[in-house]
Amino acid sequence: MMQLHFKSQAQCFRRPSGSVPKALGLNGRLPILPHRHRPSIPPSTASQPCFTSPSLPHPLLRSRNTIIPNASYAAGQPSEQPSDGKGHQEPAPQQPQQQQGASAQAVEQPQYSGQFIRRRLLVFIGIVIGYSSYYLTRNSLTYTAPVMVADPKLGMDITQVGAMTSIFPIAYGMSKFVSGVLGAKFSPAVLLAGGLMSTALINIAFGFGTSLAWFCFFWALNGTLQGVGGPCCARILTTWFASKERGTYWGMWNIAHNLGGFAAPLVAGGFAKSMGWQWGMWAPGIIGLIVGTFVLIACKDKPQDLGYPPVEEVKEVKSKEQIEKEKKGEKVEQPKQSIWAALVQNVLKNPFIWGMALTYFMIYVVRQGVTSWFVFYLIKAKGVEDAAQAGLRVSGLELGGLCGSLLAGKLSDYLISKSGGREGTVGKRVQVVMLYTVGIAAALVCFQAVPASMSALQWLNVFMIGFFLYGPQMLIGLCGAELVGPDSVGASEGFLGWIAYLGAANAGIPLSIIVKDYGWSAYFSTLLAACGLALVLLWPMMKLPSQVQRVARRKARMELEEKNAKQE
């Protein structure tokens, strides 16, 4: 039976015989798109109905078969706009262009189909397990080294192990930057899987060595390839998840750090102790090869690779010269940026990226200062018996970080949703970072004041430090991704990661000098000063829009200027 559907004349398309446009569905009918993907419809034709048979919904979207051209059909009723007496209706009042653009582009979220949700979940599981395995192949030496030192055939000591481990962060910090920049020209899914399998092979090769030169070479090579993982995951997250939900999923992905850190001692340490130090390297390598193969199969760069429309479109704003050429019928080609030009124009010349990078530096000074020195502080200043007891008291750091990351992402998404797109997306996340940074400072002050006799309270205090510390670490990376276009996400994440590890490096020797010369009070004052500087850097960015919002607002202004010029 024929069903009545109200559609505008602009959408009563007749398909030419012998051709099916690429944008149409399998049956040759238009897919049902969310509001922001629908073509604009002249008000004069918006109310005229036509008869169509139901069309297949698009595989991404769960939607009705009726395309609603204007607000009056939202409840399924014909338009009741006033008529001009000639059979035509008066145009409906328009919303402000700027608000329309920002809201539609940055906040409105389509309803996804079950098929798309299941496929996206598989991609998400792939990047979580994949990045967790990076941590497994990264930390394998940490838990294998004690068995290596105990092996008389190797004749190694702690100094030689220190030489190997000191090479790694230098190589890792640089590789994160370089891979983020160069990786923008390659598939992030392939790079993620390929990098993991490469580090797995390096772990296996490491296990066949017997000399310090062999160990140092392969461990430096491992650090060089480890930097591939983070920027690739960031690029995949930004293409599969829209702004309104991205904070939640970014926070959930961030637990890969904790999962990998939890699995490393069990796998590497367990196999090294029971089967020899070689298996402490081989077992993570074998697992990395298996997981890398799964990631290669499960992960795709973006929804378009599987036939779905993008979850969030970033439309390019054309210059006036390009618009004029299009009106004349001339072919307009978008200029392609080189890798270096994209890095300079989109990342290095962006003052807000530098603000985020310096904030990241401060946060990593605090993070590395906590993880490297809290055990020593408890033993030297609080009188805890030994390293085992001190380690038990700081064991809540990672658990607190996991909880804090999840809540920070969810909270930032809630603030963005509550604002309705009228305020900056990045600014809302910055406000959460500032709140968490204040929490870090308060928790550090409490930790210094808690006596050693209250071990349970010290554990809870460290849990709260981890809770507040890992939230900013996660959200700053997300802000950096949202401040640039999709093609520059990897470069932005690589740059931020490089600066962050410079901050981590400054928590080593500099903090040791401060503790040695000025005492533990100066140590805590330094960490509190880093928190204060982070708040100062974040203050001007509390209302900062994302790249999607900036493009939408710029496009709205240009359309308004063009409309005013025509009226004049």
| Same-domain check for residues 172 and 32 | no
* Residue corresponding to tokens 């008000």: 43
Give the 3-state secondary structure of residue 39. Answer: coil
In angstroms, the CA 225 to CA 190 distance is 14
| Same-domain check for residues 154 and 57 | no
In angstroms, the CA 355 to CA 499 distance is 11
According to the model, what pLDDT value does residue 291 have?
96
Instruction: Supply 73's token pair.
Output: 């059909």
Q: Which residue in 129, 393, 351 sits closest to 253, CA to CA?
A: 129
Pick the last residue of a domain from 313, 331, 363: 313
Identify the bridge partners of residue 89 per DSSP, sorted by sequence position.
Answer: 83
Q: Which helix (H) or strand (E) holds 428?
A: helix 425-449
For 123, counting Cβ atoms within 10 Å of its Cβ (0-12 exposed, 13-18 middle, 19+ buried), the class is buried
**Pair type for strands 4-5 and 50-51:** antiparallel
Q: Which domain holds residue 20?
A: 1-75
Residue 99 included in any domain: no
| Same-domain check for residues 366 and 300 | no
According to the model, what pLDDT value does residue 102 have?
38
Instruction: Tell me, yes or no, if the pTM score tops 0.85.
Output: no
Q: Which residue in 15, 486, 63 sits closest to 23, CA to CA?
A: 15
Q: What is the 3-state secondary structure (H, E, C) of 144-174?
A: HHHHHHHCCCCCCCHHHHHHHHHHHHHHHHH
Q: Which residue in 465, 432, 440, 430 sits closest to 537, CA to CA?
A: 430
| Same-domain check for residues 284 and 353 | no
Contact 20, 70 (CB under 8 A): no
Looking up residue 194, the CATH number of its domain turns out to be 1.20.1250.20
Spell out the per-residue pLDDT of the chain, length 568, in tens.
Answer: 444 443 443 343 344 444 444 444 444 444 444 444 444 444 444 333 333 333 344 444 443 333 333 333 333 333 344 444 443 444 444 444 444 443 334 344 457 788 999 999 999 999 999 999 998 998 888 788 888 888 888 888 877 877 777 778 778 877 877 777 777 778 999 999 999 999 999 999 999 998 888 998 999 899 889 988 888 998 899 899 988 888 889 888 988 887 887 788 888 888 988 899 999 999 999 999 999 999 999 999 989 999 888 887 655 555 555 556 555 566 555 556 666 777 788 888 899 999 999 999 999 999 988 887 888 888 888 888 776 788 788 878 888 888 998 899 889 989 988 887 778 889 999 999 999 999 999 999 999 999 888 889 999 999 999 999 999 988 998 898 889 887 788 788 888 988 888 888 777 778 888 888 899 999 999 999 999 999 999 999 999 998 888 888 887 787 787 788 777 6
According to the model, what pLDDT value does residue 420 have?
78
Contact 477, 354 (CB under 8 A): no
| Same-domain check for residues 450 and 496 | yes
Residue 82 included in any domain: no
| Same-domain check for residues 123 and 189 | yes
According to the model, what pLDDT value does residue 17 have?
43
Pick the last residue of a domain from 48, 75, 102: 75
Contact 401, 464 (CB under 8 A): no
In angstroms, the CA 38 to CA 51 distance is 19
| Same-domain check for residues 487 and 396 | yes
In angstroms, the CA 406 to CA 250 distance is 8
Q: 3-state DSSP helix/strand/coil percent for the chain, to nearest 5?
A: 70, 0, 30
According to the model, what pLDDT value does residue 53 have?
37
In angstroms, the CA 195 to CA 101 distance is 39
Residue 85 included in any domain: no
Q: What is the dihedral of CA 340, 344, 347, 353, to 10 degrees?
A: 150
Contact 181, 343 (CB under 8 A): yes
Residue 153 included in any domain: yes
227 alpha-carbon distance from chain centroid: 15
75: DSSP letter: T
| Same-domain check for residues 50 and 129 | no
| Same-domain check for residues 54 and 122 | no
| Same-domain check for residues 229 and 280 | yes
In angstroms, the CA 15 to CA 19 distance is 7
Query: For the residues of 322-346, what is the DSSP string, one character each?
Result: HHHHHHTT----PPPPPHHHHIIII
Residue 92 included in any domain: no
According to the model, what pLDDT value does residue 85 have?
42
According to the model, what pLDDT value does residue 118 have?
92
Contact 360, 481 (CB under 8 A): no
Residue 514 included in any domain: yes
Contact 219, 164 (CB under 8 A): yes
Residue 167 included in any domain: yes
| Same-domain check for residues 433 and 521 | yes
In angstroms, the CA 319 to CA 329 distance is 16
How many domains does one find in the chain?
3
Pick the last residue of a domain from 313, 334, 358: 313
According to the model, what pLDDT value does residue 325 have?
56
| Same-domain check for residues 177 and 53 | no
Contact 43, 91 (CB under 8 A): yes
Q: Which residue in 352, 366, 359 sits closest to 492, CA to CA?
A: 352
Residue 329 included in any domain: no
